[in-house]
Chains A and B, each alone.
Chain A
């Protein structure tokens, strides 16, 4: 079974430029997460989708970050404009959640963003 797919794997941009990341979750997973991981830290949640609905975006810096999950499958995360402090690894994860059952997340390889 294919895992979570992310692209690109690496991106280098200049500050104030826009950037977009793409994620394809594991087939059948209805929950999708975007995390940001700074160097030497654990992942921090940016946004969580259940199907097409963003159910938790409290940590998403909405002035410059946006995300969408059309049709409840693939998702894109965009930053516009990028700032130096946005340099990090952006991880996508997916899980299958049914009712109140506990779920576990499976991560993609991440996109390493460097803003110059």
Chain B
């Protein structure tokens, strides 16, 4: 199947710092999604991107759909303790199939 490379695997940052994570794919995607998963819960949708080059914000979160359609990044500005969790990227490929990255574990020190 298609491979999604998500990096970094984990991050330790200080409260108030900005965070950036990204996903790359060997194949073109039609949609990029970013999710956050807390322990014991399902992933919660943060941002959806539908067009190459699209830049979308949701509060302190900003995500972009790469122009090549093979990558996406997520930025979190001014991190706070409740940002702790695992962030997953997902891409929608052919036949409406979704592929997920392996996640970026974010730790925020107060």
Contacts and interface: CB of A to CB of B under 8 A. Distances in A.
A62 B44 CA distance: 29
A75 to B, nearest CB: 15
A98 interface: no
Given A45-B97, A45-B98, A56-B95, A109 B42 contact: yes
Which of under 10, 10 to 19, 20 to 34, or 35 or more describes the interface residues of B? 20 to 34
A110 B30 contact: no
Contacts, number: 57
Contacts of B30: 102
Interface of A: 4, 33, 40-45, 48, 56, 59, 91, 93, 97, 102-110, 112
Given A41-B102, A102-B48, A103-B96, 20 more contacts: A40-B103, A41-B103, A42-B102, A43-B43, A43-B88, A48-B96, A91-B42, A91-B43, A97-B96, A102-B31, A104-B33, A104-B45, A104-B48, A105-B33, A105-B90, A106-B45, A110-B40, A110-B41, A110-B42, A112-B40
30 contacts: A33-B98, A41-B102, A42-B4, A42-B6, A42-B88, A42-B101, A42-B102, A43-B43, A43-B88, A45-B97, A45-B98, A56-B95, A56-B96, A56-B97, A102-B30, A102-B31, A102-B48, A102-B50, A104-B31, A104-B33, A104-B45, A104-B48, A105-B45, A105-B98, A106-B45, A108-B42, A109-B40, A109-B42, A110-B40, A110-B42
Shortest 6 CB-CB distances between A and B: which pairs? A42-B100, A107-B42, A104-B48, A107-B43, A102-B50, A102-B31
